[in-house]
Amino acid sequence: MKKYFILFSIISGFSAHSQETVYPAPAQKGAVVITNATVHVGNGQVLNNASVAFENGKITAVGSNVTPAAGATVINAQGKQVYPGLIQSISNLGLVEVNSVRASNDAQELGELNPNIRSIVAYNTDSKVTNTLRGSGILLANIVPQGGLVAGRSSVVQLDAWNWEDAAYKMDAGLHVYLPLLMPRPSFIPAAANAPDPVKTGLEAIDRFRSFLGEAKAHFAVADKSGQTNLKFDAVKGLFDKSMKLFVHANTIKQILIAVDLAKDFGLDMVVVGGADSWRVADLLKQNNIPVILSQSHSLPILDDDDVDQPYKTPAQLQQAGVLFAISDEDGQTRGRNLPYNAGTAAAYGLSKEQALQAITLNAAKILGIADKTGSIEVGKDANIVIANGDLLDMRSSVVTDAFIQGRKIVLDDKQKQLYERYKHKYELK
């Protein structure tokens, strides 16, 4: 018992000295004007020697002829770059703290069909990971449940809040479905003679989801007359009135083709998540107006005979085909911090720098249904703004100096920075 008490004391002491002074910023008071900056609007435009003004959390003026109002706080950004806040399109932030520690994992529920699960109510605003993302310019994230065939509903959050109610930016806007792989998984161990056929079992699972959607659609046709309530059916009602999108996690051509058929058969607004093979069927996706979220660019291709740099080239190929797409970072090690650098890699493989930026700002906002509020630096939108020295998409030169969420200047400190300062002081390093 004594050793457990000592261990608990050590862990508690370490936690108590990490980020205890980092807390959400209060609402914006007074006008703020950022002047003399290079402004990357997020829609492809770049404004040189421009200013951005915002008040009460909203952008009020953008351009070269902005005159600061009397009493406004002026930030001279001479030589700096101003960007819209970056958006992490797919994330388990706040649901998983340490991947290898099961007790800190709250991302999935038991069972195969869980459309009634809401990720937002499990979102932990006190996660130590959150502040490390803000230092990379990431100010919003789509929090996604995992596990089973139908994992539940995702919500978009802003990354400076006391609790999940404060964090919620758009709630329950997407239902997430994880399609079976429909092929044997690579393994060095020979499969047992009586092992189930992965293709057969996968197709049976997809048929069960089709049946569920059909039953849900029929339920709504008679629900008002019968007065019956079904939590699982009620959770997918938004799919049929277009207030919610179906996010289908699919990488292979087989999976993507099945996803497209689902969208067409039930008339759903759908997004392909993962999309490793999306470049092969880009024309089909364009024809059916289906956007793609590329979950991980810094990876190997899924097929041995693909070009080794195919994941880097896929964004440019989708751009050329006219497919709306966003870039994300699902790496369990970086936990999303590489989002801007994934976009930077895409810029080195065919995209322009502004197209790459758009893939993690305005494109992501369009796909998540929040483009009316954020994603670009335009009058009337929320003041989600990042100021940086150097190119935000370049790991070598990017240093975020200031960030604002809905006009509130947020603290950019985090656990890693505090540890750096701690041991720099201990060893008297300059």
d(CA 428, CA 430): 7
Q: How confident is the model at residue 192 (pLDDT cuts 50, 70, 90)?
A: low
Q: Does residue 430 have a pLDDT over 90? A: no
pLDDT (tens digit, 9 = 90+) per residue, 141-187? 999 999 899 999 999 999 999 999 999 999 999 999 999 988 776 66
Ordered by start, the domain boundaries in the chain are: 19-84+375-429, 86-373
Q: How confident is the model at residue 228 (pLDDT cuts 50, 70, 90)?
A: low
Q: What is the pLDDT of residue 20?
A: 62
Q: Does residue 4 have a pLDDT over 60? A: no
Helical H runs in 306-376? 310-321, 339-348, 353-358, 362-368
- Residue 80: strand, helix, or coil: coil
- Find the range with the poorest average confidence among 86-90, 284-288, 417-421: 417-421
d(CA 334, CA 329): 8
Q: Does residue 202 have a pLDDT over 50? A: yes
Q: What is the pLDDT of residue 190?
A: 66
Q: What is the pLDDT of residue 10?
A: 41
What are the structure tokens assigned to 345, written together? 């890699």
Q: What mean pLDDT do residues 69-82 have?
A: 93
Strands 86-91 and 81-84: unpaired
Question: Are 150 and 177 spatial neighbours (Cβ–Cβ below 8 Å)?
Answer: yes
The Cα angle at residue 47 between residues 26 and 73, in degrees rounded to 5:
30
Q: What is the pLDDT of residue 1?
A: 45
pLDDT (tens digit, 9 = 90+) per residue, 409-427? 999 988 888 888 889 989 9
pLDDT (tens digit, 9 = 90+) per residue, 37-48? 999 999 999 999
Question: Are 297 and 393 spatial neighbours (Cβ–Cβ below 8 Å)?
Answer: no
Chain Cα centroid distance, residue 428: 39
pLDDT (tens digit, 9 = 90+) per residue, 361-405? 999 999 999 999 999 999 999 999 999 999 999 999 999 999 999
Assigned CATH topology for domain 19-84+375-429: Urease, subunit C; domain 1 (2.30.40)
Q: How confident is the model at residue 15 (pLDDT cuts 50, 70, 90)?
A: very low
Same fold across 19-84+375-429 and 86-373 = no
pLDDT (tens digit, 9 = 90+) per residue, 303-335? 888 899 999 999 999 999 999 999 999 887 878
Q: How confident is the model at residue 213 (pLDDT cuts 50, 70, 90)?
A: very high
Q: How confident is the model at residue 224 (pLDDT cuts 50, 70, 90)?
A: low
Q: How confident is the model at residue 193 (pLDDT cuts 50, 70, 90)?
A: low
Q: What mean pLDDT do residues 253-264 have?
A: 96
- Mean pLDDT of the residues in the chain: 90
Q: What mean pLDDT do residues 202-229 have?
A: 84
pTM of full prediction above 0.85: yes
CATH-assigned architecture of domain 86-373:
Alpha-Beta Barrel (3.20)
Q: What is the pLDDT of residue 297?
A: 85
